[in-house]
Amino acid sequence: MRRTTYFSNRTRPISRAVRFPFTLSNRGGALLPPGSSYTIETWFQLHTWANAPSVFGGTYSETHQKLFLGSSFQLYLINTGTDVGVLGFESFNGGSIETLAIVPVQQWVHLRLTYDATDLQGTIYLNNTLVGQGSFSAPQQQFTGLDLGHIGSNRSVSNMNGQMDETRIWPYVRSAAQNAASWYCPNYLLPDLSEAAAAWSYEDPIPPNPASWTGFADGSGHGQFLMSSTNQYEGSQPVSTVPFQAPVAWNPTRLGSLLAAWYAPDSAILSPDNRVIQWRDKTGQHGDSELRNDVQAPLLLNGSIHYTANRYSGLHQIIDISSSQLTLPQPFSIVVRARIDGNEAAPGATDYLFDGYNNSRTLITNNGSGANDEHFYFGVESGGMYPISISRSTWQGQWHTYALVVNGLNSASYLDGKLIATNDIGQSGLNGLRFGARFSNEHGLNGELPEAIVCSEALNATKMLQIHTYLAAKYS
Q: Return the beta strands (E) in 390-435 as ranges.
A: 399-406, 411-415, 418-423, 430-431, 433-435
**CB-hemisphere CA count at 13 Å for 122?**
25
pTM equals 0.42
348: alpha, beta or left? (left if phi > 0; alpha if psi -120 to 50): alpha
Instruction: Specify whether 119 is located in the same domain as 261.
Output: no
Is the preceding peptide bond at 331 cis, omega within 30 degrees of 0? yes
Does any domain span residue 234? no
What are the pLDDT tens digits along the chain (476 aa)? 222 222 222 333 232 333 333 344 444 455 666 788 888 877 776 665 443 344 433 333 444 455 666 667 777 766 555 545 567 777 777 777 877 666 776 676 778 889 999 999 998 888 788 888 888 888 887 766 666 654 444 333 334 556 665 566 677 788 877 777 666 544 333 332 222 222 222 222 222 222 222 222 222 222 333 332 222 222 222 222 323 222 222 222 222 222 222 333 332 222 222 222 333 323 333 333 333 322 223 333 333 343 433 333 334 456 666 666 667 788 888 888 787 776 554 555 567 778 876 555 555 555 544 445 556 666 655 556 666 767 677 777 888 898 888 888 888 889 899 988 887 777 777 777 777 777 665 666 666 776 677 777 788 888 888 778 777 876 67
Does any domain span residue 399? yes
Does any domain span residue 452? yes
- In this prediction, residue 209 carries a pLDDT of 27
Q: What is the CATH number of the domain that holds 373?
A: 2.60.120.200
- In this prediction, residue 211 carries a pLDDT of 28
Q: Which one, of 292, 276, 247, 267, lies nearest residue 189 by Cα?
A: 267
Full domain range(s) for residue 354: 252-474
Tell which of 189, 207, 225 closes a domain.
Answer: 225
Amino acid at the residue 69: L
Q: Which one, of 309, 306, 269, 316, lies nearest residue 289 by Cα?
A: 309
DSSP 8-state assignment for residue 104:
P
- In this prediction, residue 116 carries a pLDDT of 92
Rounded distance between C-alpha atoms, residue 453 and residue 438, angstroms: 18
Instruction: Specify whether 340 is located in the same domain as 266.
Output: yes
> 3-class DSSP state for residue 184?
helix
Q: Which one, of 467, 350, 463, lies nearest residue 401 by Cα?
A: 467
CA dihedral 431, 432, 438, 441 (to 10 degrees): -120
Instruction: Specify whether 176 is located in the same domain as 107.
Output: yes
Torsion sign, CA atoms 187, 190, 191, 197: positive
Instruction: Specify whether 162 is located in the same domain as 281.
Output: no
- In this prediction, residue 119 carries a pLDDT of 92
Instruction: Specify whether 119 is located in the same domain as 164.
Output: yes
Instruction: Specify whether 283 is located in the same domain as 425.
Output: yes
Rounded distance between C-alpha atoms, residue 211 and residue 45, angstroms: 27
> 3-class DSSP state for residue 2?
coil
Tell which of 209, 225, 241 closes a domain.
Answer: 225
Instruction: Specify whether 217 is located in the same domain as 286.
Output: no
Does any domain span residue 244? no
Q: How many domains does the chain have?
A: 2
Q: How far is CA 137 from CA 95, 120, 131, in A?
A: 5, 7, 20
Does any domain span residue 179? yes
Instruction: Specify whether 149 is located in the same domain as 256.
Output: no
Does any domain span residue 239? no
Rounded distance between C-alpha atoms, residue 162 and residue 151, angstroms: 14
Does any domain span residue 242? no
Rounded distance between C-alpha atoms, residue 19 and residue 229, angstroms: 10
Tell which of 225, 240, 274 closes a domain.
Answer: 225
CA angle at residue 75 from 71 to 80, to 5 degrees? 145
- In this prediction, residue 215 carries a pLDDT of 26
Residues 6 or more apart whose Cβ sits within 8 Å of residue 207 = none
Residues 6 or more apart whose Cβ sits within 8 Å of residue 142 = 30, 32, 33, 34, 35, 36, 71, 72
Does any domain span residue 144? yes
Instruction: Specify whether 157 is located in the same domain as 271.
Output: no
Instruction: Specify whether 130 is located in the same domain as 45.
Output: yes
Instruction: Specify whether 28 is located in the same domain as 121.
Output: yes
